[in-house]
């Protein structure tokens, strides 16, 4: 059983590849809620600037702050996958988890009034739908370990080979 977040998977976005089309939001909301509605997507795009765009969803933090913050113990983090699941019978939509999440990765579903957090489409055979649909392959299912390794390689190549 993994004991560190470096093995927890999450969906990350590469802002150099993201073009801001929002297709990820449509397929997520349809998959989870049966309609195309960006207010009901668990992945959210953001355009910070004309040419700076990216998408954000749950980072499967270790000792997830959202779990700690919930006053009704409605959030539970899976120790194997790191996925945070919402207990509908306990959640009252108070949004403390949203306050606690530094990434803005949690939303309250306006219809059900429950907190919604990305679950990596664990019920789908082909995995996260957003990753499947992203036309520019900007989204990937990854782990902190792999991201760190890529950064190290990139740095080494730049420093030694200079490109």
Give the one residue of 22, 81, 112, 142 binding another protein; rule: CB under 8 A: 22
Per CB under 8 A, 30 contacts another protein: yes
Q: For residue 44, what is the enclosing H or E element?
A: strand 44-49
Between residue 100 and residue 139, which ones bind another protein under the rule CB under 8 A? 110, 133, 135-136
Give the one residue of 33, 81, 112, 142 binding another protein; rule: CB under 8 A: 33
CB atoms within 10 A of CB 71: 10
Question: Tokens 């983090």 appear where?
Answer: 77
Q: For residue 96, what is the enclosing H or E element?
A: helix 96-100
Between residue 64 and residue 83, which ones bind another protein under the rule CB under 8 A? none
User: Which residue from 60, 152, 149 is spatially nearest to 106, judged by alpha carbons?
Assistant: 60
Contact call for residues 5 and 144 (beta carbons, < 8 A):
yes
Give the one residue of 5, 21, 62, 96 binding another protein; rule: CB under 8 A: 21
Q: Of the two residues 53 and 83, which places its CB atom closer to another protein in the complex? A: 53
Q: Which residues bind another protein (CB under 8 A)?
A: 16, 19-23, 26-27, 29-30, 33-40, 46-47, 50-51, 53, 110, 133, 135-136
């Amino acid at each position: 059983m993994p004991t560190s977040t470096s093995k927890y998977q999450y969906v990350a976005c590469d802002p150099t590849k993201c073009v801001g089309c929002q297709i990820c939001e449509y397929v997520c909301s349809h998959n989870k809620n049966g309609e195309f509605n960006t207010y009901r997507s668990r992945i959210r795009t953001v355009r910070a600037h004309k040419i700076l765009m990216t998408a954000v969803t749950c980072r499967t933090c270790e000792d997830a702050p959202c779990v700690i913050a919930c006053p009704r113990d409605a959030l539970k983090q899976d120790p194997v996958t790191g996925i945070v699941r919402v207990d509908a019978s306990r959640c009252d939509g108070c949004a403390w988890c949203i306050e606690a999440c530094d990434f803005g990765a949690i939303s309250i579903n306006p219809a059900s009034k429950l907190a919604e957090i990305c679950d990596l489409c664990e019920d789908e055979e082909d995995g996260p739908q957003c990753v499947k649909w992203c036309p520019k392959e900007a989204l990937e299912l990854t782990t902190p370990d792999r991201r760190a390794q890529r950064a190290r390689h990139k740095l080494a190549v730049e420093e030694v080979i200079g490109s």
